[in-house]
Amino acid sequence: MNAAEFNALYEVGVPVFAFPGARPEDDAKATRLVTRTRSKASLLSGHTDVVWVDGHSACIALTHVDVVTEAEWEAAKQQLRHDELVALRNDALNVRGVLSPNGGTRKVPMPLGETLTPAVEWLVNRVAELEAERHTANEALDDAATALREQRDRIAALEAAAVEGRAALAAFCHDLQDPGTAALGALFLLQQATIGAPMQPGETVPKVYRAQHDSIAMGLYTTATEARAHCVAEERRTWSTGANPVFDWIEDEEDGVAELVTVAEDGETETVTGYIVTALEVAAAYDPDADE
């Protein structure tokens, strides 16, 4: 049937079964619209006769539109309403099963009566409460993140200041013959507090001095003077009472090792004593790649 023939037989608003996709004989799952025409039929693009129906935005080919009687149309509408009610009832039963599973714990704080409205209202309110709690939690997390960033920036600033102080104090200790235990102790604490921070340009490493006799270490000192005094005292004990030995130190300019010698009366003959003082750099952390 073409558009002209359709318009000659039927007025606009005639009851129809319309199939927007395939027809049921071609597809058992085809969608059927129980509706009415809302326009006259027309020829689309010169090749397809179509008509527009209520409840559907696009036109439908006349080959997919079946005109029915008012009785057939009303019976189909009633069947649709019945199917919708059955679907709603099944949905309600499923919801009841979820909210109050057989043999399980009820998910809502009230028994389920004839209507699910109280349970639904409680669920809606609970969702609103959870949304508010999430919003509050998000604000708290934002505040915590802001505070954490501020603390991180503060720590970074303090670490930078400590590294600068470490470099300055290390240079001070390096330049002095005897910086003193207080300065070296403060430097040690700064080194411990800034482990992992790279050395600054021009930063020097402080030293301690080891007094030893042959291969036996006798002690560590913050100054070369004290380490040498220990060596001289130990060597002096080997001399007889009343002897007045003359001591001198011979220092290697390359490795800084100082060796204690005694000087004969002629002022030229030197005798090694076996006592040496070695300057050692103080490391802030273990370096597996350092020379052993």
> pLDDT per residue over 229-238, tens digit each?
999 999 999 8
Number of domains forming the structure of the chain: 3
Please tell me whether residues 199 and 145 are part of one structural domain: yes
Q: Which residue matches tokens 């030229």?
A: 268
3-state secondary structure of 66: strand
Please tell me whether residues 198 and 131 are part of one structural domain: yes
Domain closes at, from 11, 39, 68: 68
DSSP string, 175-242: H-S---HHHHHHHHHHHHHTTTPPPPTT----EEEEEEETTEEEEEESSHHHHHHHHHHHHHTTSPTT
Output the pLDDT for position 291: 57
Domain closes at, from 146, 169, 203: 203
Does pTM top 0.85 for this prediction? Answer: no
Question: What digits encode the pLDDT tens for the residues 162-186?
Answer: 888 878 877 777 677 667 777 777 7
Give domain status of residue 80, yes or no.
Answer: no
Please tell me whether residues 215 and 175 are part of one structural domain: no
Domain that holds residue 253: 206-292
Output the pLDDT for position 129: 93
Output the pLDDT for position 186: 79
Please tell me whether residues 217 and 282 are part of one structural domain: yes
Please tell me whether residues 221 and 188 are part of one structural domain: no
Output the pLDDT for position 235: 92
Sheet holding 15-18, edge to edge: 33-36, 15-18, 65-67
Give domain status of residue 81, yes or no.
Answer: no
Output the pLDDT for position 283: 67
Give domain status of residue 94, yes or no.
Answer: no
> Average pLDDT per run of 10 along the chain, which is 292 residues long?
94 96 91 95 93 95 95 94 90 84 81 82 91 92 93 88 81 72 75 72 73 92 88 91 87 87 82 92 68 54
